[in-house]
Amino acid sequence: IEQKNISYHMSDLNFYEYIFKKIYLALVKKQYKNFYCGVWPLPHALTSSVEQYPLNPQTFAFDYGKHSATQQGCSLLDAAFRRYFSLIFPDYTAGRWTEEFLKCQISTDHNDCENYPNDDSSERYNLSVSAGQASLNAATVWGILRGLETFSQLVYQDDLGSYFVNETFIEDFPRFQFRGVLLDTSRHYLPVHAILKTLDAMSYSKFNVFHWHIVDDPSFPYQSRSFPELSKKGAFHPATHVYTQSDVRRVISYARMRGIRVLPEFDSPGHTGSWGKGQSDLLTPCYKGGAPSGTFEVTSVFPDSYIHLGGDEVDFSCWRSNPHVRAFMQKMGFGGDFPKLEAFYIENIVNITSANNKTSIVWQDVFDYHERVGAHQDFTVLVEVWKHGCYLCKVRQVTKAGLRVILASPWYLDLPGPTHNWARYYTVWPLAFPGSEKQKRLVIGGEVCMWGEYVDATNLFPKLWPRASAAAERLWSDEKQTSSVEKAFPRLEDFRCKLLRRGIQAGPLNVGHCKHEYQGV
């Protein structure tokens, strides 16, 4: 069967021809099996045909459209072109290259090459692949990055090793603005290259926020400029188990190149066990000690407009035991109401943060304390819902109070469970609570959490991938088109094989195999 005989353009065909070709194609489906590979996460609008275009790695190129606001020299896109070229053509070994070939031309409306991605960055893109030409258009470089990822997933190899892409038209944009992955580098130290590789994998699933839970009780690996003693005494090891300022800059830059924001979390007043080792006057009783200048450092090191202040799981019994704390509360008129003290503490930090033009994110505990003490008026924070149980009840409650929400509860991927329980993370419906349209719009996204009690560089990747990708589709794609676990499964299996091919140690979903198994052992 000659390929030409069965290829068609939608526009060229009348209805009967169309039906005839459909049936005919079903009969020769085997020859076209690669065509059925999908894009993960699913684009909002995608039409494609069986018209195949060969790609020739010797002539293929990305280039900038004539009217594009970004042009050669935009280091962010120049680097992305090189990166995606390698991802699209992992080998040159096989394939008969034809005279025909296809190029990919990109175009942006703005020249935002040197910016950092932020909460108002558009990630929308249009991609069309037709005879001789792929066109990728977006308002911003961030949209182009998302489109390049999609384009790379459209390309496939036949059994002889030749590369092809099918005629395709895509309009795509994220459902939620905030799509995060949390890594915890305090309970176990993660080497910088494990973080960078996570950023790579995140970009393959179109995640756009790296929530860096950088310090906590067990260790303080962040090497502070203002308080160097914190990591010197609080890190597992002051030389080998720290993130230097240069490491942090590298992570932020690597993330920016992939359209990923870095959201730092310095969780207080709970979860600060390791802080006290290097700053003896920092913790209770003098809990306000380092906060102002520390916050100032953080706001200058991390460019993102959001900062996560933590605020979860405060152990009031510690404060209760301290006579100075009790005296302070008397003076402030809090009586014995420790949530009031917590509210006072957090409000102080939030004010400092907002004086630095940053938006504060807090764990839901803070909302709960403030709700109890009636303090949440004029208190603009973003609330991250993390507790189990009826998390949508909490989402409803927070949005009713007019505050924005990030949902994490259903995506605690560190919790024990089989590798294959991806469907649990897929069948999450973040807006399925009774509430107004305005409330729904306050849900700005969600986040996969990988806490570190039992996770380090040895098991991070097979625990995170491809299960995090299930959440990624929920956060990026249209819910109606992606409500079926059964339909998603073969696409996710295919995507997992793509991750392996790209060197990401993604765990298996079920019995089966990939053409290219993981070779990193």
Site for a copy of itself in 158-187 (CB under 8 A): 187
> Is 308 among the residues that bind a copy of itself (CB under 8 A)?
no
Nearer to a copy of itself, 40 or 64 (CB): 40
Q: Which residue in the list 313, 371, 486, 493 is annotated as catalytic?
A: 313
Least distance to a copy of itself, CB of residue 488, Å: 18
Three-class DSSP category at 452:
coil
Least distance to a copy of itself, CB of residue 419, Å: 5
Contact range with a copy of itself by CB under 8 A, out of 26-34, 35-43, 192-200, 291-299: 192-200
Rounded CA separation 323/67 (Å): 69
Which one among 10, 453, 487, 490 touches a copy of itself, defined by CB under 8 A? 453
> Is 416 among the residues that bind a copy of itself (CB under 8 A)?
yes
Which one among 459, 479, 489, 502 touches a copy of itself, defined by CB under 8 A? 459
> Is 93 among the residues that bind a copy of itself (CB under 8 A)?
no
| Cβ-count burial 401-411 (b if 16+ within 10 Å, e if not) | bebbbbbbbbb
Map 188-254 to HEC letters. Answer: CCCCHHHHHHHHHHHHHCCCCEEEEECCCCCCCCECCCCCCHHHHHHCCCCCCCCECHHHHHHHHHH
Contact range with a copy of itself by CB under 8 A, out of 225-233, 315-323, 333-341, 498-506: 498-506
Binding residues for a copy of itself, how many (CB under 8 A)? 46
What is the residue-wise DSSP string for 176-189?
Answer: SSEEEEEEE-SSS-
Least distance to a copy of itself, CB of residue 303, Å: 26
> Is 218 among the residues that bind a copy of itself (CB under 8 A)?
yes
Least distance to a copy of itself, CB of residue 234, Å: 13
Residue 149 contacts by C-beta under 8 Å, 6 or more apart in sequence? Answer: 84, 203, 204, 206
Phi, psi of 243 (to 5 degrees): -110, 110
> Is-catalytic flag, 265?
no
Q: Is 130 exposed, middle or buried (0-12, 13-18, 19+ CB in 10 A)?
A: middle
Q: Say if residues 263 and 307 touch (Cβ distance below 8 Å).
A: yes
- Cis amide bond preceding 303, omega within 30: no
Helix (H) or strand (E) holding 323: helix 323-332
Which one among 388, 458, 480, 486 touches a copy of itself, defined by CB under 8 A? 458
Which one among 197, 394, 474, 491 touches a copy of itself, defined by CB under 8 A? 197
What is the residue-wise DSSP string for 353-414?
Answer: HHHTT-EEEEEHHHHHHHHHHT--TT--EEEEE--SSSHHHHHHHHHHTT-EEEE-GGGBTT
Nearer to a copy of itself, 11 or 458 (CB): 458
Rounded CA separation 447/179 (Å): 6
Nearer to a copy of itself, 271 or 376 (CB): 271
Least distance to a copy of itself, CB of residue 20, Å: 34
Which one among 78, 371, 456, 493 touches a copy of itself, defined by CB under 8 A? 456
Q: What is the DSSP letter of 167?
A: E
Contact range with a copy of itself by CB under 8 A, out of 63-71, 318-326, 354-362, 503-511: 503-511
> Is 188 among the residues that bind a copy of itself (CB under 8 A)?
yes
Which one among 419, 444, 479, 493 touches a copy of itself, defined by CB under 8 A? 419
Nearer to a copy of itself, 303 or 462 (CB): 462
> Is 96 among the residues that bind a copy of itself (CB under 8 A)?
no
The set of catalytic residues is: 313
**Interacting residue ranges for a copy of itself, rule: CB under 8 A:** 187-189, 191, 193-194, 197, 218-219, 236-237, 240-241, 416-421, 452-462, 500, 505-513, 515, 517-521
